[in-house]
Amino acid sequence: MSTVDTHAGHSDTHHHDHHGPEKGWRRWLLATNHKDIGTMYLLFSLTMFFVGGLMALVIRAELFQPGLQLVNPQFFNSMTTMHALVMIFGAVMPAFVGLANWMIPLQIGAPDMALPRMNNFSFWILPFSFTLLLSTLFVEGGAPASGWTLYPPLSLQTGNAFPLSIFAIHLMGASSIMGAINVIVTIMNMRAPGMTLLKMPLFAWTWLITAYLLIAVMPVLAGAVTMLLTDHYFGTSFFSAAGGGDPVMYQHIFWFFGHPEVYIMILPAFGVISEIIPTFARKRLFGYDAMVYATASIAFLSFIVWAHHMFTVGMPLAGQMFFMLATMLIAVPTGVKVFNWTATIYKGSLSFEPPMLFALAFVFLFTIGGFSGLMLAIVPADFQYHDTYFVVAHFHYVLVPGAVFALMAGVYYWLPKWTGHMYNMTLAKWHFWLSAIFVNVLFFPQHFLGLAGMPRRIPDYNTQFADWNMISSIGAFGFGLSQLLFAVVIFQAIRGGAKATDKVWDSAAPHGLEWTLSSPPPYHSFEVAPEVK
């Protein structure tokens, strides 16, 4: 980790050839400032978090009781599909890009992102993409309802929504690739003098690796959905058995993207947690180098485990063995990370501010998701768990109290730095405790449902599943409503509040270049690069 020369941070007073932000809409539409673009990304993803959350509540409301009460099965399937697409591509990924935009230049001592105009473009694609995607709710034939994986031949039966959703995915992909290129170029070319790669904050490190994953796999997704498009409209037979293709091949190509994609959503979360825990444990991160190498190992392994999503398609035994063992191998670097976080906490002088609460909940609950992942990796067991609520419980544990809690931890950690105002700690702690309790009420019973055999993506269920479904739905509404507090805390802090100091968490004395700047940082920061010893 870096040792910071505190004098360097004041170089931002040289404003000779720059002005403040433009006034009105031009500031946002024509934004090239990493802070403005970061803010837009974060607010966009917050909006999408509520849109996707609303869809989740439709699902949970329908599943509150057995039988069909509120929506028809087609619309239910649209909700599961759209909820996933909106949350993955609209909420979690843009939120991490937003954090990257805000924090990477501040953490590595760069004046801005390397390619500011492309940065603007990559953000502004997103509202168009999601307008396109959400508009499918109103077209003939309804929104896509084949699951976010869009497996053919089912996905080819989508109505008019089909080309719209494919183009929306193309745009999301283009946006992510541009964001990733920007992150890599910024980190590679613009680190402050003295900041070698192995002195870089872990958030920047995990993002660097994530960015490479994005460039490697988002185009593969673009290719896969393009093949769906040509199969549908131009008579190709990539996935049509009648023309010599193979629908199973789609699953291979999709998951070659899909598995690295889940690490794209979790590696930056690891970075955020690795920033927060040392601060509030008042210790240096245990095993910094090991963290970097573990992240790289996870990224590498993510490319050779994809078929564990499709054990039941009829794979040769050797294939099942390989993908099972490779998958279980991921537990090793992940275990290293959990060990290091725990070792950082060990004998630390802890304090429990909202970011730390979320970070600790992350470590505990993400590990539960990791363990159920190991269970799913076991081929003979997976034949029972496949396509049940156990899978739903597993990936929601790694994504909600995993990626989403890390995002919230990151927001609560850096929000005073961004806005210059301390937020309402009491409300934030309420938000934490309600979220942490309800997220378990919501997802833990789904393990039981899955083990008992309840299939996923079905709007109705056998009455034997009624009790746990009702509890899960209560948890869903509790969790969903608690998130309104999150929005309240954020908007209160944007509007005003107690002045935040430069270090924000003074008693914890956080390390890192971002804390050498004022809160909020000047519009143009680090115009003269700080010296890192």
Residues 93-122 that bind another protein (CB under 8 A): 114-115, 118
**Nearest by Cα to 402 from 269, 229, 213, 222:** 269
What DSSP string describes 199-242?
GS-HHHHHHHHHHHHHHHHHHHHHHHHHHHHHHHHS---SS-GG
**Nearest by Cα to 79 from 397, 503, 456, 384:** 456
Catalytic residue among 207, 255, 263, 306: 263
Catalytic residue among 308, 394, 503, 511: 308
Q: Provide the minimum distance between the beta carbon of 206 and another protein in the complex, in angstroms, as a whole number.
A: 18
Query: Which two structure tokens, joined as six digits, stand for 323?
Result: 């993908």
Our finding on whether 253 is near another protein (CB under 8 A) is: yes
Tell me which of 246, 460, 502, 531 binds another protein, using CB under 8 A.
246
Tell me which of 181, 192, 310, 403 binds another protein, using CB under 8 A.
181
Tell me which of 184, 294, 489, 513 binds another protein, using CB under 8 A.
184
Our finding on whether 461 is near another protein (CB under 8 A) is: no
What DSSP string describes 327-341?
HHHTHHHHHHHHHHH
Catalytic residue among 45, 274, 344, 472: 274
Tokens 């931890």, residue located = 409
Residue 18 annotated in active site: no
Nearer to another protein, 314 or 380 (CB): 314
Our finding on whether 123 is near another protein (CB under 8 A) is: no
Crossing angle of helices 354-377/331-345, nearest 10°? 150
Going 453 to 456 to 462 to 468, the CA torsion angle's sign is positive
Number of residues counted as binding another protein (CB under 8 A): 34
Our finding on whether 221 is near another protein (CB under 8 A) is: yes
For residues 79 and 317, give the distance between their C-alpha atoms in angstroms, rounded to a whole number.
36
Tell me which of 153, 223, 348, 453 binds another protein, using CB under 8 A.
223
With CB under 8 A as the contact rule, which of the stretches 48-56, 209-217, 324-332, 403-411 interacts with another protein?
Answer: 209-217
Nearer to another protein, 60 or 232 (CB): 232
Nearer to another protein, 83 or 191 (CB): 191
Our finding on whether 224 is near another protein (CB under 8 A) is: yes
Q: Provide the minimum distance between the beta carbon of 231 and another protein in the complex, in angstroms, as a whole number.
A: 12
Residue 367 annotated in active site: no
Our finding on whether 429 is near another protein (CB under 8 A) is: no
DSSP 8-state assignment for residue 63 = T
Q: Provide the minimum distance between the beta carbon of 252 and another protein in the complex, in angstroms, as a whole number.
A: 6
Q: Which residues contact 121 (CB under 8 A, 6 or more apart)?
A: 178
Nearer to another protein, 319 or 480 (CB): 319
For the chain, first and last CA: distance in Å? Answer: 10
Residue 337 annotated in active site: yes
Residue 233 annotated in active site: no
For residues 69 and 5, give the distance between their C-alpha atoms in angstroms, rounded to a whole number.
63
Peptide bond between residue 333 and the one before it cis (omega within 30 degrees of 0): no
Q: Do residues 86 and 110 touch, judged by C-beta distance below 8 A?
A: no
Q: Provide the minimum distance between the beta carbon of 34 and another protein in the complex, in angstroms, as a whole number.
A: 13
Catalytic residue among 62, 112, 231, 275: 112
Residue 60 annotated in active site: no
| Neighbour tally for 324: CB within 10 Å | 20
Tell me which of 189, 242, 289, 380 binds another protein, using CB under 8 A.
189
Q: Provide the minimum distance between the beta carbon of 179 and another protein in the complex, in angstroms, as a whole number.
A: 12
For residues 283 and 39, give the distance between their C-alpha atoms in angstroms, rounded to a whole number.
30
Q: Provide the minimum distance between the beta carbon of 316 and another protein in the complex, in angstroms, as a whole number.
A: 5
With CB under 8 A as the contact rule, which of the stretches 246-254, 370-378, 428-436, 454-462 interacts with another protein?
Answer: 246-254
Residue 19 annotated in active site: no
Tell me which of 89, 148, 162, 256 binds another protein, using CB under 8 A.
256
Residues 258-317 that bind another protein (CB under 8 A): 314-316
Q: Do residues 186 and 272 touch, judged by C-beta distance below 8 A?
A: no
What DSSP string describes 412-432?
HHHHHHHHSB---HHHHHHHH
Peptide bond between residue 153 and the one before it cis (omega within 30 degrees of 0): yes
Could you give the string, one character per residue 326-355, with x where binding to another protein holds by CB under 8 A and - elsewhere? ------------------------------
Query: Which two structure tokens, joined as six digits, stand for 417?
Result: 């730095």
Our finding on whether 215 is near another protein (CB under 8 A) is: yes
Q: Provide the minimum distance between the beta carbon of 218 and another protein in the complex, in angstroms, as a whole number.
A: 7
Query: Which two structure tokens, joined as six digits, stand for 245?
Result: 């293709």
Nearer to another protein, 220 or 269 (CB): 220
At CA 481, angle to CA 433 and CA 147, rounded to 5? 110
Our finding on whether 185 is near another protein (CB under 8 A) is: yes
Nearer to another protein, 63 or 184 (CB): 184
For residues 269 and 277, give the distance between their C-alpha atoms in angstroms, rounded to a whole number.
12
With CB under 8 A as the contact rule, which of the stretches 195-203, 212-220, 414-422, 490-498 interacts with another protein?
Answer: 212-220
Residue 467 annotated in active site: no
Residue 259 annotated in active site: yes
Catalytic residue among 176, 295, 419, 525: 176
Query: Which two structure tokens, joined as six digits, stand for 6?
Result: 């505190």
| Neighbour tally for 176: CB within 10 Å | 27
Q: Do residues 364 and 297 touch, judged by C-beta distance below 8 A?
A: no
Our finding on whether 222 is near another protein (CB under 8 A) is: yes
Buried/exposed code over 94-121 (b: 16+ C-beta within 10 A; e: otherwise): bbbbbbbbbbbbbbbbbbbbbbeebbbe
For residues 330 and 335, give the distance between their C-alpha atoms in angstroms, rounded to a whole number.
8
Nearer to another protein, 331 or 528 (CB): 528
Binding site for another protein (CB under 8 A): 114-115, 118, 177, 180-181, 184-185, 188-190, 215-224, 227, 238, 246, 249, 252-253, 256-257, 314-316, 318-319
Point out the residues that are catalytic.
83, 112, 148, 175-176, 259, 261, 263, 274, 308-309, 334, 337, 456
